[in-house]
Amino acid sequence: MAELDRYHGLPNGMFSCDEHLAGPDPSQGSELCTVVEYMFSLEQSLAIVGDPLFGDRLERLAFNALPGTLTDDMWAHQYNQEPNQVECSLHHKPWTTDGPESNLYGLEPNFGCCTANFHQGWPKFAASLFMLTHDDGLVAAAYAPCEVNTVIRNTPVQIVAETSYPFRGKLSFAVNPASPLAFPLQLRIPAWAGGATIKVNGQSQHVSAPGTFARVEGTWKAGDHVELEFALQPRVSRWFHDSVALERGPLVFSYGIGEGWSKLRDRGMTADWQVYPMTPWNYALALNSGSPETGITVTEADVTGTPFSGKHPPVTLEVNARKVPAWRAEDGVANAVPQSPVPSDQPDEKIKLIPYAAAKLRITAFPQLKT
């Protein structure tokens, strides 16, 4: 994983794998089959090795790369997705051997493998949210709304997790054993989660360092409540050509390019679609060199039934930017992100970033503006 990140890593948690390992250029693609297989590998590795960092990477894929390659209604998907994806059309770049339908949204673009394979992503993720330990404990390995029912030392135990994570940082766990029962409950503290808090029935608990599991011991009885809260602060990460990406919790954020959807053909109950850019996209972010997270404004909105939709994103980031006219697209593909820092004499603008998966056309890795 470290080697893939170093030589081929992309901001959405994937590596470039549009049939070939293709380096860290965010205009390269990743196949949907690889997203769900990578998630399954992480789930198995987490269960075997017990390293919480596998959980961090799993959530990055589940909340970014997986929904980012599907339409909101899940009736169409891409074979290849790109973090810097400025057009989805019948073009040959940047694929080495894949066909021109590789990043269309459709029933089985390029090849039918992803149509048959992508369905394992969500169910196996849901089945891996909680795990058992060797000492008769329960582990919250990844976070999403869920209910788990299991048996510990012949006693039925139910835990119900209520949360709007990853869009909010608060999680509430209702612990309901059939009779009072002592067992350890472990909660994953992500590596990005400084300042996390845990309360059991309102009483504060010790929280271990980020990148570990917090262990909560006790004799649990029906009606007990555990509250876990993360401070979701914007973060800046560095990528290809010293480009920057903005993150918050497990979410990666993108500039959502205006989308013009054009039906290529009907496919029974669904269709194949090309998507063309309707707005400019070639922005460089104006970040404070000493403290780049300052100046990023966070706005939260209601979490709807389709949370990864660009129509009503549950959280947005606003940041200063300028256009870079020399950064263009060729054959429907954004040229390599310019080496940062980049100069620009264009006027200052405030642009809004939405969750990666909500932007079907997007810029995720931006050049940083030269100050």
Q: 298 in helix, strand or coil?
A: strand
Whether this prediction's pTM lies above 0.85 is answered by yes
Q: What's the pLDDT band for 371 if we cut at 50, 70, 90?
A: confident
**Confidence at 344, pLDDT banded by 50, 70, 90:** very high
The CATH number assigned to the domain holding 182 equals 2.60.420
> Element (H or E) spanning 127, and its range?
helix 121-127
Give per-residue pLDDT as tens, 193-226. 999 999 999 999 999 999 999 999 999 999 999 9
DSSP bridge partners of 160? 147, 174
The answer as to whether 158 is a domain residue is yes
Q: What is the pLDDT of residue 366?
A: 98
Reduce the DSSP state of residue 215 to 3 states and report it. Answer: strand
Q: Print the domain residue range for 150.
A: 131-229
Structural domain includes residue 136: yes
Contact present, 16 and 6 (Cβ < 8 Å)? no
- DSSP codes, 239-285: -GGG-EEEEETTEEEEEE--EEEEEEEEETTEEEEEEEE-S---EEE
Phi, psi of 90 (to 5 degrees): -80, 70
- Which letter does DSSP use for residue 356 in this model? G
- Alpha carbon distance 138, 283 (integer Å): 46
For residue 315, the tally of other CB atoms under 10 A from its CB is 23
Q: Are 205 and 198 in contact (CB under 8 A)?
A: yes
As a whole-number percent, the residues of the chain with pLDDT over 90 amount to 97
Report percent pLDDT > 70 for the chain: 100
Q: Tell me: pLDDT of 288 over 90.
A: no
Q: What was the pLDDT predicted at 277?
A: 98
Residue 339 lies in a domain: no
Mean pLDDT of 150-165: 98
- Mean pLDDT to the nearest integer, 167-172: 98
Does 110 reside within a domain? no
Partners of 312 in beta bridges: none
Mean pLDDT of the chain: 97
Among residues 253, 246, 256, which one has the least CA distance to residue 279?
Answer: 256
Domain assignment present for residue 135? The answer is yes
Q: Are 43 and 58 in contact (CB under 8 A)?
A: yes
| 33: in domain | no
Q: What is the dihedral of CA 157, 130, 139, 121, to 10 degrees?
A: 180
Strand bridging mode 259-267 / 270-277? antiparallel
Model pLDDT for residues 18-73, shown as the tens digit of each residue? 999 999 999 999 999 999 999 999 999 999 999 999 999 999 999 999 999 999 99
Q: What is the pLDDT of residue 293?
A: 86
* pLDDT of 294 above 90: no
Q: Which helix (H) or strand (E) holds 2?
A: helix 2-8
Cα separation of 290 and 125, whole Å?
38
The per-residue pLDDT for 140 is: 98
Tell me if 78 is assigned to some domain. Answer: no
- Note whether residue 116 is domain-resident: no
Residue 290: the pLDDT is 78
Residues 105-121: tens digit of each pLDDT: 999 999 999 999 999 99
Domain total of the chain: 1
